[in-house]
Amino acid sequence: MEKKTVVIGVIGADAHAVGNKIIDLTLCNHGFNVVNLGVMVSQEEFIDAAVETSADAILVSSLYGHGEIDCMGLRQKCDEAGLKNMPLFVGGNLVVGKQNFEDVKERFLSMGFDYVYAPSTPIEETIGDLKKHLGLE
Amino acid sequence: MKFLTVDVGSTYTKLTAIDATTREILGTAQAFTTIESDVMQGFERAWQELTEARPDNPCANFGYDQMLVCSSAAGGLKMVALGLVPDLTAKAARTAASNAGAKVVKTYAYEISGSEQQEIFDINPDLVLLCGGTDGGNREVIVANARRLVAIDRPFTTIVAGNKSATDEIRAIFEEAHKDVVITENVMPQFNKLNIEPARDAIRQLFIARIIEAKGLNRLQAMTPHKIIPTPLAVLQACELLSRGTATQQGYGDLLAIDIGGATTDVYSMAAGTPTVDNTMLKGLPEPWAKRTVEGDLGMRYSLTHVFEQLPERGFPQYEEQMKRVGEWVERCSSQPDTLAQPDSEEEKIEEFLGRSAVALAVERHCGRIADVYTPLGLMHTLEGKDLMDIPAVVGIGGVLRNSRHPEEILKGSLYNVMQPESTRPRNPKFYLDSRYIFAAMGLLRMVDEELACELLLRETKKIG
């Protein structure tokens, strides 16, 4: 069976590179074709990469607390670029301060993300959801 | 061993006589290109001038063992490039075609429309480069564009260098329509990985196979076993040689070369272009070490009005009077392309100003851009394209710079400008000039005698300013 392609990257002005490498490596080990955009990635770069590689999902990371602003409008831009129903995953330290995660999750779901992960979620959990969503399991 | 190089340009056919034994250039000559009737007439006339029986002519009894030919006649190699995303495969396609020495008239992204089909019909390109999708990536757009290309009733050949998973389908589309197609490796097999050499080689092969005949160069081709190549490719090869040197001769290292002509301005950079500023993240498509861009709207005669229209000085009231006089000169040159500025006149100053402005625009488009990003970790930068701020050498090539009395004044347009701090142009380079117009000839000679070509390039390229 053909490998599924996942676009990953750290969004906005965020330069946290270590987690990004771990996600890249783990996804590869689970048999995914990974398009890693690295750090400081704009919404447009996520979309351009997904269009060109015909990606099956986009996995957005954000560690520095400004994720909410950085992620706003990504779903709408995906729709505009013809990436209808593109599965969007997001995780990391998404917001400033210690907020109730259920509220945060609700806000990101209403922004159009399909899966939202709390801080310190192991990447294996996300990969499990990814496989389920793409019908690999 | 004696070599003769022939450069069939759109205006002049230029000959260079080289002696490999005494390791020198014996002479050069030129005559008007006669591509419309028979290209051999122009060649014969230039040959007569080269070997004219004058007592002081070292070429009077010149006979050559090998002849090498390049051509940019009859509009050069006219191409259009198609890709998917503008900043990704469309840009990769453009880069591949430019580096092969083609004149890329237009680049298209996404699925082309009916009016864009018409536009390609009107451009009537020699070749079309069709790209789109990484290997295993998007295939819908490249397949749709293949269908649209076969519907255009022009005799161009299409080179397909896109998603490998779509190539069988595309081949079938072209074969069914009885259109010429060449399929080669993807210009971007993986995301952000450039692979332009196979497409570049395919373009070069097709230039030999189809263009030579179409442009009436076959009689010239019949005189030599060496394949005719596009002139810009020859110049690129010379720039590469001057930069890298050979096993026994040290080259210039990183360099930027500028050829400003009557209709177009070519910029070549031989440099990795890695960031010169700390804390800089690279963005966008990686760039080839040897990169060529060609600006079809920047030139000193046929496209001088476009240069004038883009002058940043326009629109400031304090320059109104000067701009009026510049405008008058532009008008004169456009209606009479053989107009020349008188030495030490105001016209000469205007001409240098316009040349400098054209160079500034061309180099700005060739170089990268750096941007400041404020992050919680402090100030960081992003760089898109090449950072050429620390490049040590800027070389002027081509007729306009060679004929100018102050070529360094024109080349200064390439310098870093504090008004545009984002443009990563050279800050403190030394200026050089191809004083005998030999770059194309040396690019050709390199294919048979690299050491000699490098030696002559190093000797004949003069430091100026």
Would you list the domain boundaries of chain B? 2-74+216-227, 78-212, 236-464
Average pLDDT over residues A78-84: 87
Of B133, B138, B375, nearest to A13 by CB-CB distance is B375
Question: Can you name the residues that pair with B113 across neighbouring β-strands?
Answer: none
Q: What tokens were used for B317?
A: 């009231």
Chain B nearest-CA residue for A53: B137
Cβ–Cβ gap A14/B137 under 8 Å = no
- pLDDT (tens digit per residue) in B194-208: 999 999 999 988 887
Rounded CA gap, B339 and B334, in Å? 9
Cβ–Cβ gap B373/A13 under 8 Å = yes
Please report the domains of chain A, with CATH numbers, ordered by start residue.
6-16+25-63+73-128 (3.40.50.280)
CA-derived radius of gyration, chain B:
23
Q: B110 vs chain A: nearest CA distance in angstroms?
A: 10
**CATH class, B78-212 region:** alpha beta
Cβ–Cβ gap B281/A40 under 8 Å = yes
Is the pLDDT at B357 greater than 90, yes or no? yes
Cβ–Cβ gap A51/B84 under 8 Å = yes
| pTM to 2 decimal places | 0.83
Q: What tokens were used for B229?
A: 């190549």
What's the pLDDT band for B33 if we cut at 50, 70, 90?
confident
Side by side, which strands form the sheet with B290-295? B290-295, B265-270, B255-260, B393-397, B430-434, B461-464
Is some CB atom of chain B closer than 8 A to the CB atom of A54? yes
Chain B nearest-CA residue for A47: B85
Of B137, B375, B376, nearest to A52 by CB-CB distance is B137
Supply the pLDDT for residue B35.
66
Q: What tokens were used for B426?
A: 């050279």
Q: Residues in chain B, how many? A: 465
Is some CB atom of chain B closer than 8 A to the CB atom of A96? no
* CB of B426 closer than 8 Å to CB of B416: yes
Given the cut 0.90, state whether the ipTM is greater than it: no
Supply the pLDDT for residue B214.
65
Of A3, A48, A64, nearest to B376 by CB-CB distance is A64
Supply the pLDDT for residue B12.
84
- Between the CA of residue B232 and those of B101, B269, B439, what are the distances in Å? 5, 13, 10
CATH superfamily, with its number, for domain B2-74+216-227: ATPase, nucleotide binding domain (3.30.420.40)
What's the pLDDT band for B296 if we cut at 50, 70, 90?
confident
Rounded CA gap, B429 and B414, in Å? 10
Q: What angle do the packed helices A18-29 and A123-133 form, to 10 degrees?
A: 50
Average pLDDT over residues B162-173: 95
